[in-house]
Amino acid sequence: MTLVPFDDRDGWIWWNGSLVPWRDARLHVLSHGLHYASAVFEGERAYRGHIFRLRDHTDRLIASGRWLGFDIPWSAEEIDAASAAVLAANGLTDGYVRPIAWRGSETLGVSPAGTGVQLAIAAWAWPSYYGADRMQGIRLAEAVWKRPSPETAPTAAKCTSLYTIGTLSKQRAEAEGCSDALMLDWRGRVAETTGANVFFVIDNALHTPTPDGFLDGITRRTVMALARQNQMTVIERPMDPGEIAGASEVFLAGTAAEVTAVREIGPHRFTPGRITETLMRGYDALTACPPAEVARNLG
């Protein structure tokens, strides 16, 4: 398959208040966000012309910026409208939406004093992250890198700096023939994959790690709500790697991953089953609903 570089595509990108041709959306090489990772972003999916849980993503983008010490100079309403506008400008009803905010090039040093804040939003067609058959199950390697303590990094923010170890972990996993990697936290407890939350079915109950050192994902919370609506027991708690062997089903949840079954984590094997399929179908049905109906369904 021929890859189309992201800097050489047709289309439009929203940049600081207006739509600009895709190829013209460029920043200076001496931007603070490039050198010091002073950038935050979101990953969103649109289904049938609606960006799923858009306001939740926009609110998290704004909150992430504040974690990094800056305010994005557009309101949530303006960012929502810009996200919808760039989706429409690119002729998409189903696709991926990527807002990113970063400190600019006014000054360059560890201190960000004097830098302005830039905001861009792009959208493109992006099919299923792990392949069309999400019930088939993917293979996860065991990551060497660990998620950091909240005392050493702004783990509540979706910021670019925290994705470095995810990139390294996924690169190694793919070299080993796996789709992704399961990461532990700084204490050696189960955390997440490089870009999605993880769930384990143990004794017919749904268990998932407490998000005290990684993002409490929007898809994660959606899946938990769907599970409770289906009368499933949902347990958030610290989880040790030794418990993985006791799971009968494992799946991931994330905007890019949606709900994807896992069939292997290191030496452990799993068979995707009823609970995974129920939540996958429920999530897919929910994403097809208009925003008002999504809000009603999630209470």
Strands 138-147 and 117-124 turn out to be: unpaired
Q: Within the chain, which residue ranges are assigned CATH 3.20.10.10?
A: 138-298
Topology of the domain covering 12-124: D-amino Acid Aminotransferase; Chain A, domain 1 (3.30.470)
Beta carbons of 270 and 264 less than 8 angstroms apart = yes
State which fold the 138-298 domain adopts. D-amino Acid Aminotransferase; Chain A, domain 2 (3.20.10)
Catalytic residue among 32, 57, 60, 158: 158
pLDDT tens digit sequence for 3-21: 789 999 999 999 999 999 9
Whole-number pLDDT of residue 299: 75
**pLDDT score at 128:** 79
Give span(s): CATH 3.30.470.10, the chain.
12-124
33-65 per-position pLDDT tens digit: 999 999 999 999 999 999 999 999 999 999 999
What does the pLDDT read at residue 132?
Answer: 75
Q: Are 44 and 96 in contact (CB under 8 A)?
A: yes
Tell me the Ramachandran region of residue 137: left when phi exceeds 0, alpha when psi lies from -120 to 50, beta otherwise: left
Cα–Cα distance for residue pair 143/168, rounded to 1 Å: 9
Report the pLDDT value the prediction gives residue 2, as an integer from 0 to 100: 60
- Kindly give, in sequence order, each residue whose CB lies less than 8 Å from that of residue 137, ignoring residues fewer than 6 positions away: 260, 261, 262, 263, 264, 270, 271, 272
Asked if 100 contacts 44 with a C-beta cutoff of 8 angstroms, the reply is no
Residue 131 neighbours by CB under 8 Å, 6+ apart: 138
Write down the pTM of the prediction: 0.96
Q: Is 158 a catalytic residue?
A: yes
Q: Could you say which residues of the chain have pLDDT below 70? A: 1-2
Let me know: does 191 contact 166? Beta carbons within 8 Å: no
